[in-house]
Structure 1
Amino acid sequence: MNRIRVLTSGTLFLFALYCLFFNPTLPFSLPIEIDIIAFIYFAFFPMKDMLSIANPSLYKGRQFKKHYIPNHELQQQEFIEMKRRYDYRAISAFVFWMIFMAVPGSLYLLGYIDKIWIFVFFALSNFSVFFAIFGWCPFHSIFIKPECCMECRIYNWDSFFQYSFLIFIPNVMTVILFLLGLLSLIEWEMTYAKHPERFYKMSNANLTCEHCDLDACRQHKKKRFHKTLKEEYYQNKI
């Protein structure tokens, strides 16, 4: 599914660039049928992320009880300190995103840039989420700095990141998508507040490399980001 979404998000981003340079009004004059199909496609994913039954994979569904195996050797104080570090990093990532949204959004609302730029930023945000999965994630490397994707503090913020810019070009469908992305983030954070033990390897014995079902991570990302696997990878290569 992620590979399909890479293709569709990349195509959308290329389409946005084409419109930016050659036909700035095109995205806002498409037939209503295309808008409805796009809306249904984009609305599906944040709704899926909030439902336990729709998340059999561990990497997207670790907030749900079915993926939690208690670590009975957990050191509570060490866990609290680690959680506090990740919470501060999540706040810094959220502040960065708000600033990143506010700058072009303010320029658009003040009339310095055209609506097409908001569409481009939406398409860029949408594509960047999947580029981060298979390529490089700035939130992973700069802000959150987890050992691996499996315990990334903000992993299910993706729909919020993808749909945030739509609030600047409001209509029924864009507002619903924005609210779904926001609701997905709120659901993740509320579950995290109630059950933080489900989200970290230290407390959830199910979050191990052996159980990892994130293909992109298992195939190459851990070779680059995970300390232990990175050492093993290079030793085997030598």
Structure 2
Amino acid sequence: MTRMMKRALINFFFRLFVFIFIFGLYLTRKEMLFEFMTHEFTFGISEYGISPLHALWFVFMVMMIQHIFPNKELSMAYKKGKIEEFEEVPGYSRLELLEFVQNMNVKAWIVMLTWLIFNAVFAALYLFKIIDVADMLMLTVFFYLSDYLCILFFCPFQTVIMHNRCCINCRIYDWGHFMMFTPMLFIKNFFSWSLFFTSLIVLIRWEVNYAKHPERFWYGSNQRLRCSQCKEKLCVIKNKLKKE
């Protein structure tokens, strides 16, 4: 049980708690979620005071700000883009790096297209008023939990499309925030748009860094990404489930 695995499990159970709590509100006080999400400028504070949903917004924002202004507590999956985490493989092939980048970029675009089509279904349901803002918030919280389900237990993108070794070697690791807040794009609200556009900043920052320094993101050119140097072992549970 590594230090990072302990942190990941704590984060997972926290997100599970958040999901259960918001789902409880969804079942018992859905009108409160609806009213909160329909406040365009006041953020709901003037009428409801500081609610658990304001705390939820704060947690979401802090989570993303940590990726915009990273700290040493983040996983190597994120930190591999930093120069201090790059340990060059002597004599690595630039041609193989280029082939790797092209392959990963094609797969990343497939993931993005798949994700947008999937969310377009919910967007259409929302625009045609079949589901409402409370449903979209619930979907976002489900994506928030699913982020760690993918890290610890099973990731459909890794298994079906990307075929990367692990999260540390994942080309789209920092797409998670953009993915979980995609439903918020369709709601005209400070709560929703502040989350979505902040997640967009995280995504753009990641993509710019990847485009400028792809050698930091491939185990063939960065020794720190090799299994022999991994100190986190976040893949342990996932790999055991694959073998069963």
User: Which of the five TM-score ranges fits, normalised by the shorter chain?
Assistant: 0.7 to 0.9
From 173, 187, 190, the counterpart of 2:191: 173
CA contact (8 A) 1:48 1:55 kept: no
Unmatched segments (≥5 aa) in structure 2: 1-6, 37-47
CA contact (8 A) 1:67 1:206 kept: yes
CA contact (8 A) 1:59 1:213 kept: no
SS at match of 1:216: coil
| 1:129 paired residue number | 147
How far apart, CA to CA, are the structure 2 residues paired with 1:86 and 1:113? Answer: 35
CA contact (8 A) 1:59 1:214 kept: no
| 2:131 paired residue number | 113
> Which aligned pairs between 1:128-147 and structure 2 lie closer than 5 A?
128-147=146-165
Shift of 1:222: 4.3
Going from structure 1 to structure 2, the CA distance change for 1:26 and 1:56 (only over 3 Å counts) comes to closer
1:220 paired with 2:226, answer no
| 2:220 paired residue number | 202
**TM-score where L is the length of structure 1:** 0.85
How far apart, CA to CA, are the structure 2 residues paired with 1:54 and 1:28? Answer: 38
| 2:178 paired residue number | 160
CA contact (8 A) 1:43 1:177 kept: yes
| 2:19 paired residue number | 13
How far apart, CA to CA, are the structure 2 residues paired with 1:75 and 1:124? Answer: 41
| 2:114 paired residue number | 96
Going from structure 1 to structure 2, the CA distance change for 1:161 and 1:32 (only over 3 Å counts) comes to farther
Shift of 1:108: 0.6
How far apart, CA to CA, are the structure 2 residues paired with 1:50 and 1:78? Answer: 30
How far apart, CA to CA, are the structure 2 residues paired with 1:68 and 1:224? Answer: 31
Counterpart residue type for residue 183 of structure 1: I
* Larger deviation, residues 25-34 vs 85-94: 25-34
How far apart, CA to CA, are the structure 2 residues paired with 1:36 and 1:114? Answer: 19
**TM-score where L is the length of structure 2:** 0.83
| 1:150 paired residue number | 168
| 2:92 paired residue number | 74
Question: Among the aligned pairs, what percent are the same residue?
Answer: 26
How far apart, CA to CA, are the structure 1 residues paired with 2:119 and 2:72? Answer: 30
Counterpart residue type for residue 12 of structure 1: V
- 1:25-82: CA deviations, max 9, x gaps? 2324564413332222111111111234445542221111111111122112122112
- 1:72-109: CA deviations, max 9, x gaps? 22112122112211110000000111111111112111
How far apart, CA to CA, are the structure 1 residues paired with 2:196 and 2:223? Answer: 34
How far apart, CA to CA, are the structure 2 residues paired with 1:173 and 1:119? Answer: 10
1:185 paired with 2:191, answer no
How far apart, CA to CA, are the structure 1 residues paired with 2:205 and 2:49? Answer: 31
